[in-house]
């Protein structure tokens, strides 16, 4: 048998296995189509207990996949928000599940109306490599809270985390309830083409287009959590130490491998050199050295390192001024760098950076900064640094982005009461908290009547006097 024939057979078997798994979950859902609150509560409590008990092995697995990932970053950026989102969901779930009463006008009385929040069925979740725990658990919690069965596809770039999460979830959930799918990119392609009742994908805009195309064959509803170039604006009068420190934290967490990390900074022309120095001091206060520093995370793999180096090379060849904040890194712990004098033809200003490389763009006034942002694809996040309330309102009202932080970075993603999602090329749909419950539910409108039928007053024949009176009263 040729290698090509063997590969085709493997792909066919893989597809059969995925379809069989989907069928198994569909059958299980059909047998229990509306799990009660107590059942959903038990699922979430079991998941919380598992994550809490196994935190150390989860931290170790993620660090193994990155070659080194700061244990504290994993604790703060993955475990803590995962546990908090479960707690928030448990606190509010009973209220979310209650049917929502709606008004019925006099024309349709006597009757009552309500919205019933029904599980969709089987939900697919495609998890990226940069936060392999939180970006699996967050949507999983929303899907389970809504009463669904779930299939998770873990990234091939985090194999240790994927294997561990598969083993752990199998301890508390049968395969027809929650299933973890592992494998390379071809498995993800097959996965995105399954006839889920909803599919959530987190990843790049480029891959998101492919996932959406695959899902469209089945008319599968889809939530896309993408990325893009999230800008930060430094105002003309904000203390530079304040802005630089908060931007530096948002950019250096996980070595910049965060979908909502500041991708570039707009700084007043007259403040650029001072901002560079304030930023240098902020980064060095976090990481005095990269050598043997347990707090600084590595780039996920050598392929991503090469991509980031190419962005720097392309920019410098086209005239950018590169400022490296360290003399050397260690292994894949890549030194943080700034880029000045950037232009639109540079790849670094076209692609999402996803690493410790920060371009600085000069502007003259706020109108110019807002025009610069609005001339580009709508980002997943936008950050503004300045204490003038009127300017803050202008930024919020005159720009489009999935979310906004004023005088902060990243932390809006951890606020369970806020919806999280993109707009335009940075994604579609929302999850987290109540919005996650709604995303994974069918909001079914229900109109109820009993014995007396008031609608008969408008039945044909239409020439009757009562019909004319109703028309006179209600059609104005």
pLDDT, residue 12, reads 52
CATH of 3-226+429-443, one of 3.50.50.60, 3.90.600.10, 3.40.605.10, 3.40.800.10: 3.40.605.10
pLDDT, residue 109, reads 87
Q: How far apart are CA 388 and CA 370, in angstroms?
A: 16
Name which of 263, 236, 259 is nearest 247 in CA terms.
263
pLDDT, residue 297, reads 95
Q: What are phi and psi of 149, to 5 degrees?
A: -90, 155
Return the biggest CA–CA distance within the chain.
Answer: 91
Query: What count of other Cβ atoms lies within 10 Å of the Cβ of residue 418?
Result: 15
Query: What count of other Cβ atoms lies within 10 Å of the Cβ of residue 345?
Result: 11
Name which of 224, 202, 157 is nearest 184 in CA terms.
157
Q: How far apart are CA 453 and CA 430, in angstroms?
A: 40
Q: How far apart are CA 326 and CA 235, in angstroms?
A: 27
222 contacts 211 by C-beta, under 8 angstroms:
yes
Q: What are phi and psi of 331, to 5 degrees?
A: 60, -125
Name which of 369, 427, 419 is nearest 398 in CA terms.
369
Token pair listed for 337: 């760098």
Contacts of 143 (CB under 8 A, 6+ apart): 123, 125, 150, 198, 436, 440
160 contacts 61 by C-beta, under 8 angstroms:
yes
pLDDT tens, residue by residue, 209-241: 999 999 999 999 999 999 889 999 999 999 999
pLDDT, residue 15, reads 67
- Domain residues of the chain, as ranges? 3-226+429-443, 231-418
Q: Which residues are catalytic?
A: 225, 259
Residues in the chain where the model's pLDDT stays below 50: 3, 5-11
pLDDT, residue 6, reads 43
Identify the CATH class of 231-418.
alpha beta
Q: How far apart are CA 276 and CA 273, in angstroms?
A: 5
Q: How far apart are CA 206 and CA 129, in angstroms?
A: 16
pLDDT, residue 463, reads 73
Q: How far apart are CA 402 and CA 389, in angstroms?
A: 21
pLDDT, residue 8, reads 42
Query: What count of other Cβ atoms lies within 10 Å of the Cβ of residue 420?
Result: 24
Query: What count of other Cβ atoms lies within 10 Å of the Cβ of residue 408?
Result: 15
């Amino acid at each position: 048998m040729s290698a090509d024939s063997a590969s085709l057979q493997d792909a066919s078997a893989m597809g059969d296995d995925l379809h069989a798994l989907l069928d198994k979950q569909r059958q299980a859902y059909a047998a229990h189509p509306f799990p009660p609150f107590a059942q959903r509560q038990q699922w979430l409590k079991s998941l919380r207990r598992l994550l809490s008990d196994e935190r150390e092995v989860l931290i170790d697995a993620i660090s193994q996949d990155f070659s080194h990932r700061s244990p504290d970053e994993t604790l703060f950026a993955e475990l803590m928000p995962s546990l908090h989102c479960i707690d928030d969901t448990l606190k509010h779930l009973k209220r979310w599940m209650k049917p929502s009463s709606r008004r019925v006008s006099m024309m349709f009385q006597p009757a009552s109306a309500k919205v019933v929040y029904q599980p969709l069925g089987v939900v697919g979740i495609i998890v990226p490599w940069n936060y392999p725990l939180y970006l699996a658990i967050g949507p999983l919690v929303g899907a389970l809270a809504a009463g669904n069965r779930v299939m998770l596809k873990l990234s091939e770039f985090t194999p240790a985390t994927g294997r561990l999460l598969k083993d752990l979830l199998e301890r508390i959930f049968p395969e027809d309830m929650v299933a973890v799918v592992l494998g390379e990119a071809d498995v993800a392609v097959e996965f995105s083409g399954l006839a889920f009742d909803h599919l959530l994908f987190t990843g790049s805009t480029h891959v998101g287009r492919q996932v959406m195309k695959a899902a469209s064959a089945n008319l599968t509803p889809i939530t896309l959590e993408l990325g893009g170039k999230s800008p930060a604006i430094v105002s003309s009068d904000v203390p530079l130490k304040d802005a630089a420190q908060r931007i530096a934290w948002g950019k250096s967490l996980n070595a910049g491998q965060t979908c909502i990390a500041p991708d570039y900074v707009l700084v007043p022309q007259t403040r650029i050199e001072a901002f560079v120095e304030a930023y240098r001091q902020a980064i060095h206060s976090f990481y005095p050295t990269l050598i043997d520093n347990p707090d600084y995370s590595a780039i996920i793999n050598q392929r991503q390192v090469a991509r980031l180096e190419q962005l720097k090379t392309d920019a410098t060849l086209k005239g950018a001024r590169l400022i490296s904040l360290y003399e050397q890194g260690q292994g894949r712990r890549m030194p943080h760098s700034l880029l000045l004098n950037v232009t639109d033809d540079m790849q670094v200003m076209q692609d999402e950076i996803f690493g410790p490389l920060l371009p600085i763009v000069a502007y003259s006034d706020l109108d110019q900064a807002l025009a610069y942002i609005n001339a580009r694809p709508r980002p997943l996040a936008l950050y503004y640094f300045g204490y003038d309330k009127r300017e803050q309102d202008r930024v919020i009202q005159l720009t489009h982005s999935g979310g906004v932080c004023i005088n902060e970075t990243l932390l809006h993603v951890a606020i369970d009461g806020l919806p999280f999602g993109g707009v335009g090329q940075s994604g579609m749909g929302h999850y987290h908290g109540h919005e996650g419950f709604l995303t994974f539910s069918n909001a079914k409108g229900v109109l109820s009547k009993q014995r007396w039928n008031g609608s008969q007053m408008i039945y044909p024949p239409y020439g009757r006097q009562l019909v004319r009176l109703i028309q006179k009263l209600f059609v104005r």
